[in-house]
Structure 1
Amino acid sequence: MKRLYNITLILLLLLFASAGASAQIRGVITDSLTHEPLMYITVQYEGKGVGGISNADGEYQVETRKGWNELTFSAIGYITKKVKFAPGTKVLNVALAPADVMLSEVVVKPKKEKYSRKNNPAVEFMKKVIEHKKALKLEENDFYQYQKYEKMKMSINDVTPEKMEKGIYKKFSFFKDQVEVSPKTNKMILPISIKETASRTIYRKSPKSEKTIIEGMNSNGIEEFFNTGDMLGTILTDVFSDVNIYDDDIRLLQRRFVSPIGRGAISFYKFYLMDTLMVDKQECVHLTFVPQNPQDFGFTGHLYVVKDSTYAVKKAVMNLPKKTGVNFVENLDIVQQFEQLPDSNWVLTDDDMTVELALMKGIQGLEVQRTTKYSDYKFDEIEPRLFRLKGSVIKEANMLAKSDEYWAKVRQVPLTKKESSMDVFMNRIEQIPGFKYVIFGAKALIENFVETGSKKHPSKFDFGPINTMITSNYVNGTRFRLSGMTTGNLHPHWSFSGYGAYGTRDKKWFYSGQAAYSFNKREYVLWEFPKHYLAFQYTYDVMSPMDKYLATDKDNMFVGWKWTTVDQMSYMRDATLTYELETNTGFSVKAMARHRNDQPAGMLQ
């Protein structure tokens, strides 16, 4: 969070003027039944050619002109509403009523306040969807493979004209050239990071094996200023993981959500039949769903299910209720589209996710967009040698060196003008006076290490952990420590680390050194997953009996803050030989041989 704050102080120096701006009218559109905000509601002046759509928060904004005094709000599944307003009106909130729908000669009226699963056509229909979902899973095939293109973009969110006209924003006018409109929220955003990944996924049913081969990777943005691997990309990939609605549970934002077609969906969600309509020339049943309890970890949204014997999901729209209370998440919007192949398999083709984050009051929010396209599905037998490749994720040796021609071919969604000019934008930011000091501070606070390299010459040795440099304890008094480690840029297998420390009260020097050999080629640090290494470490230091139970470094300054004084300690000499093995299946082995000698210190003397 600190990192984002420091980066924001420099990056959010936007200046953009609203040319020919006119008066605006804005508001929030909600469902009259669930009171949830409604996205994608069309707002327009009929016959004027002027209007807009509501965002993921149900918010809309349109201009007003003299003599225009009526707005029309419309969407499939809701009763169209025309609202007149007085001149000078600036805020107009609207509640839309769900339309009564006739399906299979049964009238469903979701306006009813009392929800019952018994004799509910929506529930009976969803039971059939859940019953048929296993047959639609790709895993029912003996083999499958597909190509995947993913674009992950992070942007400074909601860059309003008011924000652009204050303080240091005016000093860097080139920022306004990078601002664009978010296609999902209609807000002005400033892209600061973009990462593209092209991969191939292969699957074998028996013996079960699934592997992802990363064929190309391309990134640009603020993460390029950091040398500790693909930190930002790794964080985003973990937090905004792939969503498979055919799973019973969906892991997202590092939490578990109930899938709208999971086995527990009937008891977790309220379902409403809305309409029968055409989606990509296929007749579909439109359903809406909301959690029984809005504070539970579930979605609100829409399902479009093909009206035939397959009960396949053609399209899914999911968002996160605000009352869910997921930290930092203001809005989340997921849109998935499916397609039936000539061989009758149903496959995912499009998966778009947009998340708006608000870290804390007073700090500019972020928008993360993930655009994913799936193509080239095949179900032929796959050669066995590919499944013998080590690990579940295989990175091709030249994945970072793909040509522009390669990306033009695999990129199924063209980059926007601002995304294409990201490298130019970052070069200009780098020239801002003092920017390198901000990056230095951000690295120290967030990565807890300071690199000794540069963009052109990656770091071979890092100083850190930084949070262990100054601490205190009963025996040492104030304690100063300097630590460091070699990186994968020096050697992909050998790793050396250690520290030296001095206590001002007992006037003693302490030290530790470790030499390790990683059997796996590491990109940067020894503890990259999956770990497989042999290490020898020798340490002379002062310890307390409880230090061995700590999950972090005993000299972490935050661990040093204790409610009571720890005065029973010892001077320790420790020699340890460690072997550790991790596998991609979750199996791990750790063996250790140790010789340790302790001498009493503090109140034990």
Structure 2
Amino acid sequence: MKKNLFLLLFLFSFVAISQTKVGGVVLDDSGKPVAFANVLFKNSSEGTITNDNGRFYMESDNDYDVLIVSFIGYDTQEIPLTSRVSYNMEVVLKESTEQLDEVVVYSGKQSKKNNPAVEILKKIWAKKRENGVRKFKQYQYDKYEKIEFDLNTIDSALMESKIFRGLEFVFKDLDTSRITGKTYLPIFLNETFSKVHGDNLLDEEKEVVLGNKNSGFDNNQAIIAFVKDLYQNYDIYDNYLKFFDKSFTSPLSRTGVDTYNYVLRDSAFIEDKWCYNIVYYPRRKNELTFKGDFWVNDSTYAIKNINLEVTKSANINWVKEIYIEQDFDVVNDSVFLLKRDYMLSDFSFQKKEESRGIYGKRTTVYDNYVFDISKPKSFYRAEGNPFDPQILDRDSVFWKNSRLEALNKDEKGIYQLLDTLKTVPKFKTYYNLVSVLGSGYIEIDKWNLDIGDVYSIFGFNDAEGFRLRGGARTYFGQNDPWRLEGYMAYGFSDKKVKHGFSAKFLLDKKSRLIISGGNRRDIEQLGISLTSTNDVLGRSVASSAIFTVGANDRLTNINLSTFNLEIEPLTNFRIRLGSSFRTLSSALPDAFSLEYVDSESPTGISSEIKQFDLSTLLIYTPGKRTIGYGVERKDINDNYSTLLLNYTRGIDGFLESDFNYSKIQFSYTQPWQLGGFGRLFSTIEIGKTFGEVPLGLLNVVPGNQTLFSIYNTFPNLDFYEFVTDTYASVHLEHNFNGRLFSRIPLLRKWNLREIVGLRGVWGELSDENIALSAPTNIPLRAPNEKIYYEYSVGIGNIFKIFRIDFNFRGNYLDSPNARPFSVTGTFGFNF
């Protein structure tokens, strides 16, 4: 979903006035751009550095008449500014010929030894856990955040294009970015005011949101979730800063000396505090790094001001610029507290200067710090899911008093602009296109109904042949207390109609007590997951894959009815009590059988399984963040772990149920952000079935005969190749995010990413269960002789959207039709 939303922002894209604005390029005397040159307004601490292409842009609220441009090894240039706005400047630096005695000159790659900047950096490391709110037992403060999205690089060609015909009024008031110098048009604004409470002794923090206000896509939960996920909190003192699912090495990191060059550029008084100014820039290209500078106090070694700009060569897609500024307030001689955090991202298909895109800007302001007021531990944990509809409906007086930074004229105009745009038919068409591609549903507002999802319309398998599916759901808003959803499908080969429907109701908002149920009658590829599911609406890729390896004929007719009761007594801890009744039979009996020995059948064999189950499911997702208070919420992060414990009790006799058994299953999934070494995704699963059950109720090791790379499956196993009643499996997949390829000159410019995987499973299958399913026409075998394992190597980010994996089977090569090697792939928009 997030990948689709990112694409949508580009489909849709087809500051107060400063006193001094400058922009241009810095070259050496041979005409080559000078990267990381220092650009500074004379007699000020306001400055920037040039990007990889030698370009810079800077503006100030103050009047300046001289610009200073310098770089180590070159003569410093002082350039008079004859007007308030000076764009397209071309500054030429000449190589320095002066010989300075007793001065160490740093150029190119800086030494890690005898470097005064590195010595200061070491003192920052020693003091970083003593700075800011960490100096106090408890803390609380006010936090105001605004997130804005703007169309950028607005020029006459865009304004006169057909896409904006009839919408020319939106260009009436355009402004220029103080970071990039590009014109922009605001299209979205989200404001949040909250109070943050923390306890360093308990290692707890809680944010209480008091007000939230949206413009633009105010009722589109999917888009808002995407925006929230883009901008998560970070601490510049951490070794790694996470943006867009990538870990960037912080310039204050303990590993920074291996990643960055540091130069002590200047020292000066800032608000009566003597500070050092240190410039940093990356040692190598194509790594996830920044360039910029920071001012640090000479006694506390606390950061007073820092700016970070992602280098253009960094291995990140669809983002042309990332710029961050943080300012800290001096409270007393030893306390520096974060005052303002500003982040700008320039999203674009290309990294060329002239390419159009979308700005994403987040400004966070902190104020009213209070310290050492303790609160009980229950305060941080008791209130699991607060719901206050007034948060979304605060009046203008509240926002006037709560904004710690006033809206500028452009931001004030967003609310009025979007209200006007929503009345324009052409804009509604564009908005609907964005919404459909992002959520997968076509909105019909007058009926409070969504049609879809559009991504499940077409399918193909051996039993149904070509397949069409259409569905709908109720949708009044993102906080709906109930939802009805269903679909119908038709297979052109078997000429049968299939369906699925569900209903869910939120009975209590605070405890999130939900009652749900549904029915599904369809054809499905079972055994895609070891941990069973009772989803009446979902459908696996394997059930509809057009291209498969070998015969895809082990499909099942399923008639499933469910009823569930779910509650969330503690934040991110859910308990679900459920019941289900299912009927299973082979969809292609000549190729695949689910028959089992049945002494009560006239033939001694039954081909249909009827089963009633009761289940208890415990799900714990520590660190998970969501938005919305309705029956369905949206996740806004993906770095949380998931622990799942499921107990199922099969009861025979009830509703003609066939088997009496018990099954217990546990799984643990954890993403690991390993700093500059990338991201590891891991899953462990174990399970056991007590009692005799046929093939349809056993645990099938998930094979994968499709051409798609699907996590948690074994791409070199056929469907039903291994069957178990006791199992343990592990899946590991690590994405280095280009760390290795970035060190290979011939591959560096391609920004490829290396992925490695290792997966294994061990299992047993009792003789009784084998005998019960003896009539089956496929061999029943478990990987009990030794652990079955596979490994893979992959290349990602091919042309920015493709990934290909080469998968190798480690053992059990004597199995009939064993596949020792396979190639799978996937595609999508990833940062």
Normalising by structure 1, we get a TM-score of: 0.79
1:367/1:519 CA distance change after superposition, 3 Å: same
1:263 Cα deviation from its structure 2 partner: 3.0
Match of 2:485 among 494, 497, 503: 497
- How many equivalent pairs are there? 553
1:432/1:2 CA distance change after superposition, 3 Å: farther
Does the Cα contact within 8 Å between 2:150 and 2:184 map onto a contact in 1?
A: yes
Match of 2:90 among 75, 92, 99: 92
Tell me the equivalent position of 1:390: 383
Matching residue's letter, 1:516:
K
1:414/1:147 CA distance change after superposition, 3 Å: same
1:7 Cα deviation from its structure 2 partner: 7.1
Q: Separation in 1 of the partners of 2:56 and 2:255? A: 35
Does the Cα contact within 8 Å between 2:387 and 2:509 map onto a contact in 1?
A: no
After TM superposition, list the pairs within 5 Å mapping 1:442-453 onto structure 2. Answer: 442-453=434-445
**Residues 1:483 and 2:471 are matched in the alignment:** yes
After TM superposition, list the pairs within 5 Å mapping 1:517-596 onto structure 2. Answer: 517-518=505-506, 521=509, 533=514, 535-545=516-526, 547-548=528-529, 553-554=538-539, 560-564=545-549, 566-576=552-562, 594-596=580-582
1:199/1:414 CA distance change after superposition, 3 Å: same
Judge which range, 463-472 or 127-136, deviates more. 463-472
Matched residue SS, 1:437: helix
**Residues 1:255 and 2:246 are matched in the alignment:** yes
Tell me the equivalent position of 1:16: none
Matching residue's letter, 1:390:
E
**Deviations, residues 418-461 of structure 1 (Å, cap 9, x unaligned):** 3222233224433444433333332222111233336xxxx754
Matched residue SS, 2:558: strand
Tell me the equivalent position of 1:18: none
1:11/1:261 CA distance change after superposition, 3 Å: closer
Matched residue SS, 2:90: coil
Match of 1:271 among 262, 271, 280: 262
Matching residue's letter, 1:322:
K
**Deviations, residues 228-259 of structure 1 (Å, cap 9, x unaligned):** 32x33332222122231122221112211222
Tell me the equivalent position of 1:109: 105
Provide the aligned C-alpha RMSD in A: 4.2
1:415 Cα deviation from its structure 2 partner: 1.9
Q: Separation in 2 of the partners of 1:167 and 1:219? A: 29
Matching residue's letter, 2:134:
E
Q: Separation in 2 of the partners of 1:61 and 1:184? A: 6
Match of 1:164 among 159, 178, 193: 159
Matched residue SS, 1:325: coil
1:129/1:538 CA distance change after superposition, 3 Å: same
**Residues 1:244 and 2:235 are matched in the alignment:** yes
Tell me the equivalent position of 2:422: 430
Does the Cα contact within 8 Å between 1:53 and 1:60 map onto a contact in 2?
A: yes
Does the Cα contact within 8 Å between 2:560 and 2:581 map onto a contact in 1?
A: yes
Does the Cα contact within 8 Å between 1:532 and 1:582 map onto a contact in 2?
A: yes
Tell me the equivalent position of 2:341: 351
Matched residue SS, 1:92: strand
1:35 Cα deviation from its structure 2 partner: 4.8
Q: Separation in 1 of the partners of 2:121 and 2:237? A: 13
1:319 Cα deviation from its structure 2 partner: 0.8
Q: Separation in 1 of the partners of 2:567 and 2:40? A: 54
1:534/1:292 CA distance change after superposition, 3 Å: farther
Q: Separation in 1 of the partners of 2:449 and 2:525? A: 30
After TM superposition, list the pairs within 5 Å mapping 1:345-424 onto structure 2. Answer: 345-359=335-349, 364-384=356-376, 386-391=379-384, 396-424=388-416
**Deviations, residues 346-372 of structure 1 (Å, cap 9, x unaligned):** 210011111111035998311112111
1:191/1:507 CA distance change after superposition, 3 Å: same
Q: Separation in 1 of the partners of 2:268 and 2:582? A: 74
Q: Separation in 2 of the partners of 1:445 and 1:315? A: 41
1:176/1:496 CA distance change after superposition, 3 Å: closer
Q: Separation in 2 of the partners of 1:353 and 1:156? A: 16
Judge which range, 340-349 or 247-256, deviates more. 340-349
**Deviations, residues 139-174 of structure 1 (Å, cap 9, x unaligned):** 342210011111111101111234334455565431
**Residues 1:312 and 2:302 are matched in the alignment:** yes
Greater relative contact order (CA < 8 Å, ≥ 6 in sequence): 1
Q: Separation in 1 of the partners of 2:266 and 2:425? A: 58
**Deviations, residues 15-66 of structure 1 (Å, cap 9, x unaligned):** xxxxxxxxxx9742379999535585559xxxxxxxx99886753589xxxx
Judge which range, 530-539 or 431-440, deviates more. 530-539
1:490 Cα deviation from its structure 2 partner: 10
Q: Separation in 1 of the partners of 2:369 and 2:457? A: 53
Matching residue's letter, 2:331:
L
Matched residue SS, 1:598: strand
Matched residue SS, 1:263: coil
Matched residue SS, 1:215: strand
1:283/1:209 CA distance change after superposition, 3 Å: same
**Residues 1:184 and 2:179 are matched in the alignment:** yes
Matching residue's letter, 1:600:
S
- Whichever of the two has the greater Rg, that structure is 2
Q: Separation in 1 of the partners of 2:285 and 2:130? A: 31
Matching residue's letter, 2:349:
L
**Deviations, residues 360-409 of structure 1 (Å, cap 9, x unaligned):** 59983111121111100001414446435424x85644122222122222
Q: Separation in 1 of the partners of 2:255 and 2:574? A: 32
Matching residue's letter, 2:366:
Y
After TM superposition, list the pairs within 5 Å mapping 1:4-23 onto structure 2. Answer: none
Tell me the equivalent position of 1:65: none
**Deviations, residues 477-519 of structure 1 (Å, cap 9, x unaligned):** 2322232334575985544333222222212121223333546
Tell me the equivalent position of 1:80: 76
Matched residue SS, 2:172: helix
Matched residue SS, 1:354: strand
1:9 Cα deviation from its structure 2 partner: 6.7
1:77 Cα deviation from its structure 2 partner: 7.7
Q: Separation in 1 of the partners of 2:462 and 2:504? A: 32
Tell me the equivalent position of 1:218: 213
Q: Separation in 2 of the partners of 1:557 and 1:469? A: 15
Does the Cα contact within 8 Å between 2:144 and 2:404 map onto a contact in 1?
A: yes
1:546/1:264 CA distance change after superposition, 3 Å: same
1:450/1:334 CA distance change after superposition, 3 Å: same
Q: Separation in 2 of the partners of 1:520 and 1:487? A: 19
Matching residue's letter, 2:173:
Q
**Residue identity (%):** 23
Judge which range, 592-601 or 405-414, deviates more. 592-601
Q: Separation in 2 of the partners of 1:99 and 1:402? A: 64
1:108/1:597 CA distance change after superposition, 3 Å: farther
**Residues 1:28 and 2:25 are matched in the alignment:** yes
Q: Separation in 1 of the partners of 2:404 and 2:11? A: 34
Matching residue's letter, 2:547:
K
1:279 Cα deviation from its structure 2 partner: 2.3
Judge which range, 531-540 or 237-246, deviates more. 531-540
1:338 Cα deviation from its structure 2 partner: 0.8
Q: Separation in 1 of the partners of 2:205 and 2:8? A: 40
> Unmatched 5+ residue regions in structure 2?
15-21, 59-64, 81-86, 594-831
1:94 Cα deviation from its structure 2 partner: 4.1
Q: Separation in 2 of the partners of 1:419 and 1:153? A: 8
Matching residue's letter, 1:290:
Y
> Unmatched 5+ residue regions in structure 1?
13-24, 44-51, 63-70, 523-529
1:301 Cα deviation from its structure 2 partner: 1.5
Tell me the equivalent position of 2:326: 336
Q: Separation in 1 of the partners of 2:102 and 2:387? A: 54
Q: Separation in 2 of the partners of 1:264 and 1:534? A: 51
Does the Cα contact within 8 Å between 2:564 and 2:577 map onto a contact in 1?
A: yes
